[in-house]
Structure 1
Amino acid sequence: MIKMIKRFMFLGLFAVLPNVALAHSPFFMCEYDGEKITCEGGYSDGSSASGVKIKLMSDDGKVLEEKKLDKLSSISFDKPKGDFYILFDGGTGHSVEVEMGDISGL
């Protein structure tokens, strides 16, 4: 329930910001449930991020795994050993990195 409240608060933030600031900014958030890391992404103008490349990266810059967001703009990974980050690769000006420490539940 708390996760849902946080998600709605996060998404609600975009409803109160001016449209100019929301042109087409990506958002991406991840959480760990004890088994899998699940991430969801999208764009501030409401457009889908389905098909966007997501890379699970080691801290030294090596690609550990690469997938694309599904039709619901979500994806999941097994938690890797060692330090890592997740890259939402939406193209120039539309990339977001989620550091390991920013993943809820880790």
Structure 2
Amino acid sequence: MHSLSLPLGLFEVFMTIKSSTFAASLLCFGTFSTAAYAHFPLMSCWFEGDKVLCEAGYSDGSTAVEYNVDMFDYDDNLIAKGMTDKRSIAEFTKPDTDFYLVFDAGHENPVEVDVVEIKEK
């Protein structure tokens, strides 16, 4: 069996290179692995009497405070604009027409909830 013997100075250089390579690898892993943990927007809506309430948030459990939630009729006309409060809830008066709600958090896919999906809570 052969053993590798390096002069002390060369050994320190070798270990420094290995350490910095390891640190760089960890940094890259940490930077690029966050994409795997990306979160996406969610919204659930319900009726309470003559009101429509929608709670917006993200798949990682974080809240969506002070985000716009818009209400459209089926002809894509804006009926009402709402904003989430400190509880991540937007509140609307229930319209007399069919509608859908949109939470666009600036991600690629905004969340849409159609009136047929909404139930009384």
Does the TM-score normalized on the shorter chain lie above 0.5?
yes
3-state DSSP of counterpart to 1:101: helix
Note the C-alpha offset of 1:25: 1.0
Contact 2:65 2:85 in 1 (8 A): yes
Query: Partners in 2 of 1:82 and 1:74 — Cα distance?
Result: 22
Choose from 49, 72, 93 the match for 1:57: 72
Query: Partners in 1 of 2:36 and 2:45 — Cα distance?
Result: 23
Aligned residues: 88
Query: Partners in 1 of 2:87 and 2:45 — Cα distance?
Result: 14
Query: Partners in 2 of 1:90 and 1:39 — Cα distance?
Result: 14
Query: Partners in 1 of 2:67 and 2:42 — Cα distance?
Result: 12
The alignment's TM-score, normalised by the length of structure 2, stands at 0.65
Choose from 60, 68, 78 the match for 1:45: 60
1:54-103 Cα offsets, whole Å, 9 max, x none, are: 00111100111112111110011111111100011111324100001000
Partner amino acid, structure 2, of 1:51: E
> Which residue of the partner structure matches residue 67 of structure 1?
82
Structure possessing the higher radius of gyration over alpha carbons: 2
Partner amino acid, structure 2, of 1:40: E
Q: Which has the higher helix share?
A: 2
> Any stretches of 5+ residues in structure 1 without a counterpart?
1-18
Tell me how large the CA RMSD over aligned residues is. 2.1
User: Which aligned pairs between 1:1-106 and structure 2 lie closer than 5 A?
Assistant: 23-105=38-120
Percent identical across equivalent pairs? 38
